[in-house]
A and B are shown apart, each in its own frame.
Chain A
Amino acid sequence: MIQQGHEVVSAISGEKITVGRKLGEGGQGRVFTGRRPDGTNVAVKWYNDVQATPDQKRGLLHLLKHGRPSGAAGARFVWPIDLVEHQADPCFGYVMDVIDMKRFAELGEVWAGIKPAPSFRAMARISAKAAESYRKLHLDGFCYRDISSGNLLFDPTAGDVLICDNDNVGINGQSTAQVLGTMEYMAPEIVRGEAVPGTKTDLHSLAVLLFQLWIWHHPFHGRMEYDIRSWDLPAKKRVYGETPVFIFDEDDHRNELPDDPEYDTAKLRWSVCPKPLKRMFRRVFIEGVERPEARPMEGEWQKLFRQLEDSVVTCPSDRAENIWDGESSEVVCWHCRQTFPLPPKLIFKQGSSLMLDSTAKLRYRHVQAVDEASGGDQTAGEIVQNPKKPDIWGLKNLTDVSWRMQKQDGTVREVPPGQAATLSHGMNLTFNDGATAYVTS
């Protein structure tokens, strides 16, 4: 077993990496800090002997040859950078970037109260980014096979995402049965032994993960699981594979949540879950278990979560974040139960909308075509209050290109970078690439 002070050699670059202190240990091996000859820090994962198989090495080499998926979506993968070996140890390992474990959280840490719970806005951002990254992975011909809450790290405040443990990523359709993943995330057809892991089955695992992030519960853990005395493999096969029934299926009550305080949190979180998201969960966990083709694709998830992020409205009484459901004309605050009116919104030509809440952020994806490298997530504009007249609000241009605004009475004005367009009902805005939107209350 390698240890602090040892030197390991990168198989591809030939670089010597000095092993530093141990960062952690898992079922598969140990993770150390490492220092490259140029002084930069990396993390080195060293497999234990059970895991250091020729298959694992082949898989790693394939991932290395392909390289980390490109763009902002690909950058979220903590991808293997090089294979490393040590002359006195038959095992091997790989080099990856160091993760800031203080900043990033696992869902389990949030549940245990070790890390703060993400807000609605942060959950929407985390979900959209996770969906976007898995989409990128799938487009590159891979499947993840082991999507689970332990492999998704997120910044609970900013909503940024990292996907780790990428050494188990496989080639779509060629996955051996070895890496089956964790049964509670597995698509029912894999549990039943009728399919091997692939893009379609990843879509189910992704949905389970998203459900857990929003509802803090498993979509199939209802009455059925509750009534099982012996939670063994046949029982798991039944609940996840043979008769998967969604706990919030309104037509099939076999698996609804029992009347036990254990389920209070899930019931509460479902009651405040935005309607469009509830519909999507119903689709994936009711239709999608029968027909994998019916599962929402990553792009659909991404579009939904971006819209949810753009629908955040703040309760005027207690500042609680709420998400407008896209239908109602007012919002009942989930926290204080008071009703409040909707702020004006910006409607884009393609039909999406941005609530002009005081906390809203206009992003590059709203104002111009999204380029892969940046992902369109940077802030392009923000809501500002007129310092002299607090009831007048403006949209400040944070891009480096002028916008054009046209008021309802026909007057046209430039909005240069750094300045704000005073928001008024019926006004039109033309952004960077000619993207247009209008304000409505």
Chain B
Amino acid sequence: MSHVERGTFTKGVYAAASEIGASHIAQGMPCQDACKTGEGRGWFPYTIVAVADGHGDQRHDLSDIGAATAVEVAVRELSNSWHHYKLYRKSFHDFFCYDAGRRIVRAWRQAITHCAETAGVTARPGRSVYERYGTTVQVAMWANGYVLMAKVGDGEMRFSSDGISLQNPFVAPSDLDSQTTHSLAMKDASRVWQTAVYPEPAPGGYVFVSTDGLSNSFPTDQDYNAYVQQLYNVVETHGLEAVSRSWPSWFSSYTHAGSGDDITAGMICFGLGEDERGKQHDSART
């Protein structure tokens, strides 16, 4: 079971893909990851890539729906608010940093409440119904000269301003609470919405997002970083369209060889075209 979305925007290309984990196939379970992209054209274009990782396990037995709802809601809320704030850059950034977490968490809960009521799903004793749908969410958005990134819970994001350097905007919680996975189902979810805002990178720059099914396939952070950089080199040569078409089969081989978990990744690349336009950008860079 795989899912791929991709598209182009005025500054480049974007894509996202999910692939079911080997262990989930073995257990006859659904993919508990989800991804969704969104874009706006015209005078005020924007691009959004959202990924979510349902917690899985028995306490979160409906987290596949939770994750699908999370990316749906995140893309919708950000697109709508972009339309409200697009004329004022700072207002949109403030919305993204100070309000979007709260609004997305709330919209997710409303959608889940509706979903649970329709399906006759009830909470476990002493627990909230949201817990059964528990999921993370991560978003990367390009709009009006900036890249905005945010997340609730686990998962990795990387930003490259030039196609060579790589930074992690969200350094993992040191030793503190490293056991607790943050989740949209937590009552304090809107407070754990972490954000980072960067100026739009030069052609050659990119944003990479993945659920931890991918990062856990690598022994160390350095290995994961090296993978992301290598992946970008392949994208530069073959174009994101071709690469993202291969993602499901690549991810499938990683999950069979490694974590066994579902794998989802998304990418926004600046200065690249539909296919092998990487070369074009190479010449633009020199």
Contact = CB atoms under 8 A, between A and B. Distances in A.
B111 interface: no
Given A112-B191, A262-B106, A262-B187, A232 B85 contact: yes
A374 interface: no
A264 B187 contact: yes
Interface in B53-109: 80-81, 84-85, 88, 91, 93-95, 97-99, 102-103, 105-106
Given A112-B173, A113-B176, A233-B88, A265 B98 contact: no
Interface in A183-234: 183-184, 216, 221, 226, 230-233
A115 B176 contact: yes
B280 interface: no
B188 interface: yes
Nearest to A265: B188
A114 B165 CA distance: 25
Contacts of B94: 182-184
A136 B192 CA distance: 33
Interface in B181-208: 182, 187-188, 190-194, 197-199
B44 to A, nearest CB: 15
B176 A216 contact: no
Contact of B95 (A26, A231, A265): A231
Interface residues of B, number: 39
B174 interface: yes
Interface in B123-161: 128, 145-146, 161
Interface in A261-312: 261-262, 264-265
B85 A112 contact: no
A221 B106 CA distance: 13
Given A111-B192, A232-B84, 10 more contacts: A22-B165, A22-B167, A27-B199, A111-B188, A112-B191, A113-B182, A114-B174, A115-B176, A226-B106, A232-B85
For the complex of A and B, the 9 pairs showing the least CB-CB separation, nearest first, are: A232-B84, A111-B191, A261-B187, A114-B173, A113-B177, A112-B192, A27-B197, A182-B94, A112-B194
Interface of A: 22, 25-27, 29, 48, 50, 108, 111-116, 150, 182-184, 216, 221, 226, 230-233, 261-262, 264-265
17 contacts: A25-B161, A27-B146, A112-B191, A113-B177, A114-B171, A114-B174, A115-B176, A182-B98, A183-B91, A230-B80, A231-B84, A231-B95, A232-B81, A233-B84, A233-B88, A261-B128, A262-B102
